[in-house]
Amino acid sequence: MNKQRSLASSTGNADLMRSINKGIVLDLIRKRSSISRAEISKVTGLSRSTCSLIVDELLHSELLIETGAGDSSGGRKPVLLAINYEAGDAIGVKLMTETVVGAIVDLRGDVVALREQPASYADGPVAYLRSVSNMVELLLQERSDLNRAGSPFGIGVGVSGIVDPSGGVAVETSVLHWRNVEVREALKQFELPVYLENDVNAFALGEAWFGDGRGASNLLCVTIGEGIGLGIIVDGGIYRGAHRGAGEFGHVRVSADPNASVDSAGIRGSVETFASDEAICSFYKTESGIDEDPDMRTVVEAARSGDAAALTAFERAAHHLGIGISTLISLFDPQMILLSGEGVDASDLWMPALSEAISESTAYGLDRLCPIKIVPSDESMWVRGVATLVVQEVFRLNI
């Protein structure tokens, strides 16, 4: 019995190592665009025979293609290898309060098809997840109509709040008002791997792979709008924390004012209480003395027309957001920070005050080493991010 267990363990370890090596080779080829077998062996340290076996398997699975001959150093010209980006694709679905957005995304990160349909959280998780299933069915049909090659490698799902990626469970989301909802289980009929992730984490991953953060292995993505979110990429992967709660930047306290507002998590004087849409609109209403509740468009238009109360609302928001971002720079020392979300549409109104607050609050000049980029976002970018959860696995462990 012990011998059988040892043999099973040895076989399992060998299979895992082979899968990891395959992912290493595949990801190297992705990063190099085209490369020979000999160069793969040289860069990875894997033996030539191991590289050849892996390459042959990847060619057979059509994830790789031969693109011709490279330059010779005296002998036969090496055959160059490249990713076959038409080998398959990923499905991404983003869950919001009143809609579900879904997309087919290829291995380059290009959105092939984009769909949106109503789905209200008020109907409860069972009905809502039925709408998610309908979205996946529509996208699978669209793949067929478009004669897409290969098969989908999996389904990525993004939702706000705290999630358990390993279990496929939305642990707690204040946006959808869910607790411990089994999302993966609700999609099991498609017989595809399902990857669940916090939507801002997934957005950050998509930017690191295919967007403005491409090439950066350590970056932060701060989203601004109805709430304040944070996606953390460390050493090329999503950082979730010990209890999957990392990234709750909106609830970080940036003011000790006892009269400051309280945010949705009960924290007084947090980033959210100063820089969210609601906070900016509320401050403007108080300062301007108007009776009606303004929306963000009203406040933006007022600020651009020179309204002092509106301009102060944005400067106040930027100041406290800047203090928070300064803390992030000091803690993570990232290569860059991306600012996105609907709030960046008004970045011309608050970027100078934000930069000033960051500069004043950051030690050792670390802020000067960390470029901050504005990334105007749309739904396709968010759903590309959740599809990247699948693409990442294709290049990591070759699912």
CA atoms of 305 and 302, how far apart (whole Å): 5
Residue 262 backbone phi and psi in degrees, to 5: -110, 135
pTM, entire model: 0.88
Mean pLDDT across 339-357: 95
CA distances from 210 to 60, 356, 383 (A): 27, 30, 12
Residue 4 confidence class, pLDDT cut points 50, 70, 90 = very low
Q: Where are the alpha helices (DSSP H) in 238-378?
A: 272-275, 277-288, 296-304, 308-332, 347-361
The pLDDT value recorded for residue 7 is 42
By CB atoms closer than 10 A (0-12, 13-18, 19+), residue 331 is exposed
155, 200, 220, 162 alpha-carbon torsion, rounded to 10°: -100
Q: How confident is the model at residue 71 (pLDDT cuts 50, 70, 90)?
A: low
Contact 40, 28 (CB under 8 A): yes
Average pLDDT over residues 5-29: 73
Nearest to 324 by CA among 218, 207, 198, 228: 228
Average pLDDT over residues 36-43: 92
Q: For the CA atoms of the chain, what is the radius of gyration?
A: 24
Q: Would you state the pLDDT for residue 73?
A: 57
381-394 per-position pLDDT tens digit: 999 999 999 999 98
Confidence check: pLDDT of 1 > 60: no
The type of residue at 268 is: R
Model confidence at 61, in pLDDT bands (50, 70, 90)?
confident
pLDDT at 135 over 90: yes
Q: What's the rounded Cα separation, in Å, for the pair 272 and 228? A: 6
Asked if pLDDT for residue 332 goes beyond 80, the answer is: yes
Kindly list the structural domains of the chain, giving each domain's residue range(s) and its CATH number in brackets, ordered by start. Answer: 2-83 (1.10.10.10), 88-211+380-396 (3.30.420.40), 219-374 (3.30.420.40)
- Answer yes or no: is pLDDT of 10 > 70: no
Compute the distance between CA of residue 59 and CA of residue 75 in angstroms, rounded to an integer: 24
**pLDDT at residue 33 in the model:** 84
The predicted pLDDT at position 370 comes to 97
pLDDT > 60? residue 11: no
What's the pLDDT score for residue 218? 96
pLDDT beyond 80 at 268: yes
- Joined together, the tokens standing for residue 257 give 């004012």
Q: DSSP readout, 110-161?
A: -EEEEEEEE--GGG-HHHHHHHHHHHHHHHHHHHHHTT-SSEEEEEEEEESS
Produce one character per residue of 65-89: b if its CB has 16 or more CB atoms within 10 Å, e if not: beeeebeeeeeeebebbbbbbebbb
Q: Which of 10-19, 78-87, 307-316 has the highest mean pLDDT?
A: 307-316
Taking residues 214-222, what's their average pLDDT? 95
Identify the residue with better confidence: 228 or 12.
Answer: 228
Greater confidence (151 vs 178) lies with: 178
pLDDT, tens only, 89-106: 999 999 999 999 999 999
Tens digit of each residue's pLDDT (9 = 90 or more) over 154-194: 999 999 989 999 999 999 988 899 999 999 999 999 999 99
Chain-centroid distance, C-alpha 61: 28
Residue 75 has pLDDT above 80, yes or no: no
Across the chain, mean pLDDT equals 91
Strand partners, 374: 339
| Residue 117 Rama label (left phi>0; alpha psi -120 to 50; beta) | beta
Residue 334 has pLDDT above 50, yes or no: yes
Query: What confidence category does residue 12 fall into, taking pLDDT thresholds of 50, 70 and 90?
Result: low
Q: Work out the percent of the chain whose per-residue pLDDT is above 70.
A: 94
Overall average pLDDT of the 219-230 stretch = 95
